[in-house]
């Protein structure tokens, strides 16, 4: 091998090494973004809690007005729903 071929091999190895490092950093960056999504999901749980009432036996009943309204699904009428 001459010096020119050695330089190309070293350059190729360096470029591959940089590409691997970038891939690892991008994959770890996406995991941090997912953690933010989990925090958002816990906030939604708090929103759901304001529409519930806790009974004496510990069960929770959804008291949302949307559940009590009448809904149509095709020809099927759904009304007076109670979600515990």
Domain boundaries, the chain: 1-49, 51-84
Tokens (6 digits) for 59: 């069960």
Render pLDDT for 36-68 as a digit per residue (tens, 0 to 9): 545 455 555 555 467 778 888 878 887 777 777
How far apart CA 2 and CA 48 sit, in angstroms, is 71
How many CA atoms does the CB half-sphere of 15 hold within 13 Å?
6
How far apart CA 43 and CA 38 sit, in angstroms, is 9
How far apart CA 37 and CA 3 sit, in angstroms, is 52
Q: Binning pLDDT at 50, 70 and 90, where does residue 70 land?
A: confident
pTM higher than 0.85 for the full model? no
Residue 71 near residue 78 (C-beta atoms within 8 A): yes
């Amino acid at each position: 091998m001459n010096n020119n071929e050695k330089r190309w091999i070293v350059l190729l190895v360096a470029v591959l090494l940089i590409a691997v490092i970038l891939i690892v950093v991008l994959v770890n960056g996406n995991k941090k973004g997912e953690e933010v999504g989990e925090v958002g999901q816990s906030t939604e749980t708090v929103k759901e809690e304001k529409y519930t009432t806790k009974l004496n036996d510990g069960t929770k009943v959804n008291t949302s007005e949307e559940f009590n309204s009448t809904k149509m699904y095709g020809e099927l009428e759904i009304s007076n729903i109670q979600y515990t």
